[in-house]
Amino acid sequence: MNIAISSGKGGTGKTTIAMSLASCYARNGMDVALLDCDVEEPNVNLFLKAEIEKTETISVLVPHVDETRCNGCGECERICAFSAIVIVKGKPLLFTDMCHSCGGCYHVCPERAIEEIEKPIGVIETGSRDGIVYSGGKLTIGEAMSPPLIRKVKRCHPDSENRILDSPPGTSCPAVEAMKDSDFVVLVTEPTPFGLNDLTLAAGAVRALGIPFGVVINRADIGDKSILDEYQKLGYNLIASIPHSREIAEAYSRGDCVSLILKHHRAEIEKIASYAERYNRSLTRI
């Protein structure tokens, strides 16, 4: 099954929960893949520390104009919804950073002057450690669009029985791309006003995608009770909670909090796994 770990707000503990859950599966002898879909800020392997065995360059298609064929008719400019191709002094000028790879210009050009070429946008690194197979995307700095890379990361390890996807924060296209088609979404939050506000936004996004979800409250004792009451009122399924601890925060800062979490809070992590299992669409793959 595919479990996406997500949140509206950043820094609530997505990566920690994703890592802990993956370790939990691995320790139980289960087949598990951990996919880092937060390609703008990929952090999973800072904690997993898998040796990278393979690095694959990921590209998108962008137009390339054969100027000997182009007659400057402007059809390409007219079809492009993203202002990625404009005619200046009778010649097309390309802004490939704006290109969404829709192929419109390529198909529309009456002179067949446009071909599509590959433009690298990032890499996917693959490795494994402690029974967890890992693939993570890394978007090249300066690239604006992460969804095409996220889509590629999601295709890694299709045969793993359990695939855990660490999503980017927010509720817009990168987060949606990561969560889309999963069997279950775990929303990680913290009991603060920012955490609460962003959780409601994230829950809205998951609902729009029609995916079942549950909420994990991290650092459950840092806020005040009124906020925990608010969580109850929302009626979401609260499936686990992990208290704040300076010890865990310090271990996190060194990149080795997972063993500590499994030592003290393994039951909570197991709860997430067993809750998610209810929504296992068994052989469905994304």
Residues that bind another protein (CB under 8 A): 8-12, 15, 38, 40-41, 43, 46-47, 79, 81-82, 100-104, 107-108, 139, 141-146, 168-176, 180, 192-194, 197-198, 201-202, 204-205, 207-209, 222-224, 226-227, 249-250, 252-255
Nearer Cβ to another protein (30/102): 102
- Judged by beta carbon, residue 106 or residue 184, the one nearer another protein is 106
Sheet holding 238-242: strands in order across? 51-65, 114-129, 132-139, 32-36, 162-166, 2-6, 184-189, 213-218, 238-242
Q: Give the nearer residue to another protein in terms of CB position, either 36 or 273.
A: 36
Nearer to another protein, 41 or 277 (CB): 41
Question: What is the CA angle 208-210-211, rounded to 5?
Answer: 120
Name which of 93 and 208 has its Cβ closer to another protein. 208
Q: How far is the CB of 224 from another protein (least distance, A)?
A: 6
The answer to whether residues 167 and 178 touch, using CB atoms and an 8 Å cutoff, is: yes
Q: CB 31 → another protein: shortest distance, Å?
A: 27
- The least distance separating another protein from the CB of residue 149, rounded to whole angstroms, comes to 10
Nearest distance from C-beta of residue 43 to another protein, angstroms: 4
DSSP string for 105-132: HHHH-TT--EEEEEEEEEEEEEEEETTE
Nearer to another protein, 138 or 157 (CB): 138
Q: Give the span between the Cα atoms of 200 and 68, in whole angstroms.
A: 54
Q: How far is the CB of 11 from another protein (least distance, A)?
A: 1
E strands along the chain, which residues?
A: 2-6, 32-36, 51-65, 85-88, 91-94, 114-129, 132-139, 162-166, 184-189, 213-218, 238-242
User: Beta-carbon neighbour count of residue 222 at 10 Å?
Assistant: 14
Residues 6+ apart with CB under 8 A from 133: 32, 33, 34, 126, 127, 157, 160
Nearest-approach distance from CB 274 to another protein, in angstroms: 28
Q: Are 175 and 6 in contact (CB under 8 A)?
A: yes
Q: Which is nearer to another protein, 132 or 206 (CB)?
A: 206
| Least distance between another protein and beta carbon 83 (Å) | 11
